[in-house]
A and B are shown apart, each in its own frame.
Chain A
Amino acid sequence: MSETTLLQVNDLRTSFFTDSGEVKAVNGLSFSLERGKVLGIVGESGSGKSVTAYSLLRILTDSGRVTGGQVLFNGENILEFSPQKMHSFRGSRISMIFQDPMTSLNPVYTVGNQLREAIRIHTDRTPEQVRERALEMLQLVGVNEPEKRLTQYPHELSGGMRQRVMIAMALACEPDILIADEPTTALDVTIQAQILELMQELQHKLGMSIIMITHDLGVIADICDEIIVMYAGRVCERGTADEIFYNPCHEYTKGLIRSIPTIGANHDKLIPIAGNPVDLLNLPKGCAFASRCDQAMKICLTDAPEEIRINENHIAACWMNVKKVYDEAKEEESK
Chain B
Amino acid sequence: MSNHPLVDVRHLKQYFTVKSDMLTKLQLKAVDDVSFTINQGETLGLVGESGCGKTTVGRTLLRLYKPTAGEVYFDGNLITDDNINHYRKDMQIVFQDPYSSLNPRMTMADIVGEPLDIHGLYKTKAERRDKIAELVQLVGLNSDHMRRYAHEFSGGQRQRIGIARALAVNPRFIVCDEPVSALDVSIQAQIINTFEELQAKLGIAYLFIAHDLLVVQHMSQRIAVMYLGKIVEIGPADEIIEHPVHPYTQSLISAIPLPDPNAARKRHRIILQGDVPSPLHMPEGCPFRSRCRYATEECAKVCPTLEEVSSGHQVACYHPQG
Chain A positions near chain B (C-beta within 8 angstroms): 44-45, 144, 158, 160-161, 188-194, 196-197, 215-222, 241-242, 245-246, 255-265, 267, 269-273, 276-277
Nearest-CB distance from A238 to chain B (Å)? 15
In the complex, 20 of the A-B residue pairs with CB atoms within 8 angstroms, ordered by the A residue number, are A189-B252, A189-B255, A190-B271, A193-B269, A193-B271, A215-B185, A218-B214, A218-B264, A220-B259, A242-B261, A245-B259, A255-B186, A256-B186, A258-B189, A259-B185, A261-B215, A262-B260, A263-B241, A267-B218, A270-B192
* Cα–Cα distance between A270 and B49 once the two chains are bound (Å): 25
Are A193 and B259 touching (Cβ within 8 A)?
A: no
Nearest-CB distance from A335 to chain B (Å)? 35
Are A44 and B184 touching (Cβ within 8 A)?
A: yes
- Per-position binary interface string of chain B over residues 179-196, scored 1 when its CB falls under 8 Å from any chain A CB and 0 otherwise: 000001111111011001
* Chain B positions within 8 Å of A261 at CB level: 192, 214-215, 217-218
* Cα–Cα distance between A276 and B271 once the two chains are bound (Å): 37
- Per-position binary interface string of chain B over residues 96-120, scored 1 when its CB falls under 8 Å from any chain A CB and 0 otherwise: 0000000000000000000000000
Are A217 and B259 touching (Cβ within 8 A)?
A: yes
Other A-B contacts than A197-B271, A264-B242, 9 sampled, CB-CB below 8 A, are A44-B184, A44-B185, A189-B255, A191-B275, A193-B269, A221-B259, A260-B189, A260-B259, A263-B241
Are B187 and A222 touching (Cβ within 8 A)?
A: no
Are A263 and B258 touching (Cβ within 8 A)?
A: yes
- Per-position binary interface string of chain B over residues 244-266, scored 1 when its CB falls under 8 Å from any chain A CB and 0 otherwise: 00000001101111111111100
* Chain B positions within 8 Å of A241 at CB level: 261
Nearest-CB distance from B272 to chain A (Å)? 5
* Cα–Cα distance between A269 and B215 once the two chains are bound (Å): 12
* Chain A positions within 8 Å of B275 at CB level: 158, 160-161, 191
Are A245 and B261 touching (Cβ within 8 A)?
A: yes
Are A257 and B259 touching (Cβ within 8 A)?
A: yes
* Chain B positions within 8 Å of A255 at CB level: 186
B274 at the interface (CB under 8 A from A): yes
Nearest-CB distance from A269 to chain B (Å)? 6
Nearest-CB distance from B55 to chain A (Å)? 14
* Cα–Cα distance between A158 and B264 once the two chains are bound (Å): 27
* Chain B positions within 8 Å of A260 at CB level: 185, 189, 214, 259
* Cα–Cα distance between A44 and B269 once the two chains are bound (Å): 26
* Chain B positions within 8 Å of A215 at CB level: 184-185
CB closest chain-A residue, reference B239? A265
Q: For chain A, what secondary structure do more than half of its interface residues adopt (helix, strand, loop), or is it mixed? A: helix
CB closest chain-A residue, reference B238? A265
Nearest-CB distance from B248 to chain A (Å)? 9
* Cα–Cα distance between A256 and B187 once the two chains are bound (Å): 10
* Chain B positions within 8 Å of A272 at CB level: 186-190, 193
* Chain A positions within 8 Å of B218 at CB level: 261, 267, 270
Nearest-CB distance from B83 to chain A (Å)? 36
* Chain A positions within 8 Å of B187 at CB level: 272, 276
Total contacting residues, chain B, CB less than 8 A: 42
Chain B positions near chain A (C-beta within 8 angstroms): 49-50, 154, 156-157, 184-190, 192-193, 196, 211, 213-215, 217-218, 238, 241-242, 251-252, 254-264, 269, 271-272, 274-275
Are A144 and B274 touching (Cβ within 8 A)?
A: yes
* Cα–Cα distance between A265 and B236 once the two chains are bound (Å): 11
Are B274 and A263 touching (Cβ within 8 A)?
A: no
* Chain B positions within 8 Å of A267 at CB level: 218
* Chain A positions within 8 Å of B257 at CB level: 189, 192, 196, 216, 218-219, 221-222
* Cα–Cα distance between A269 and B218 once the two chains are bound (Å): 9
Are A190 and B251 touching (Cβ within 8 A)?
A: yes
* Cα–Cα distance between A222 and B241 once the two chains are bound (Å): 19
* Cα–Cα distance between A258 and B218 once the two chains are bound (Å): 13
CB closest chain-A residue, reference B278? A158
Are A189 and B185 touching (Cβ within 8 A)?
A: no
Nearest-CB distance from A277 to chain B (Å)? 8
Are A190 and B217 touching (Cβ within 8 A)?
A: no
* Chain A positions within 8 Å of B213 at CB level: 189
* Cα–Cα distance between A33 and B252 once the two chains are bound (Å): 33
User: A190 with B255: in contact, given A263-B217, A267-B218, A272-B189 (CB under 8 Å)?
Assistant: yes
CB closest chain-A residue, reference B188? A259
* Chain A positions within 8 Å of B157 at CB level: 276
* Cα–Cα distance between A221 and B264 once the two chains are bound (Å): 7
Are A189 and B256 touching (Cβ within 8 A)?
A: yes
Name the residue among B211, B217, B260, B264 with the largest chain A CB count within 10 angstroms. B260
* Cα–Cα distance between A144 and B188 once the two chains are bound (Å): 37
* Chain A positions within 8 Å of B190 at CB level: 272
* Chain A positions within 8 Å of B186 at CB level: 44, 255-256, 259, 272-273
Contact of A217 among B185, B193, B196 (CB under 8 A): B185
Are B49 and A221 touching (Cβ within 8 A)?
A: no
